[in-house]
Amino acid sequence: MLNGAPYRTLCTHYSEDGKRMAEVREFSNGETYLVESEWVEGTTFVDRHAGRMVGLFAPPEHAERFIITTEWFIGRRR
């Protein structure tokens, strides 16, 4: 269970156009997840998936490799 579990942000990736962001989080239990966000004009970044995280990844490098190759992150698909 991750609710309230401490985590550290390992890195944050931004798409080339700056409209998509993915934060790689490693939790105290060793599990790694992504939080994906999109820029909403006139506001700020808003979490995708109603704030639910994407994962489970192990090791954290797998999360990084995954996100930077997705159609969504590259900007080819919403």
The pLDDT tens digits for 42-60 are 889 999 998 899 999 989 9
42 three-class SS: coil
In the numeric block, which tokens belong to residue 12?
A: 């944050």
Pick out the chain residues at pLDDT < 50: none
75: left (phi over 0), alpha (psi -120 to 50) or beta: left
Residue 76 one-letter amino acid: R
Q: What sections of 1-78 are H helices per DSSP?
A: 60-67, 71-74
Angle at 14 between CA 20 and CA 77, to 5 degrees: 35
pLDDT, residue 3, reads 75
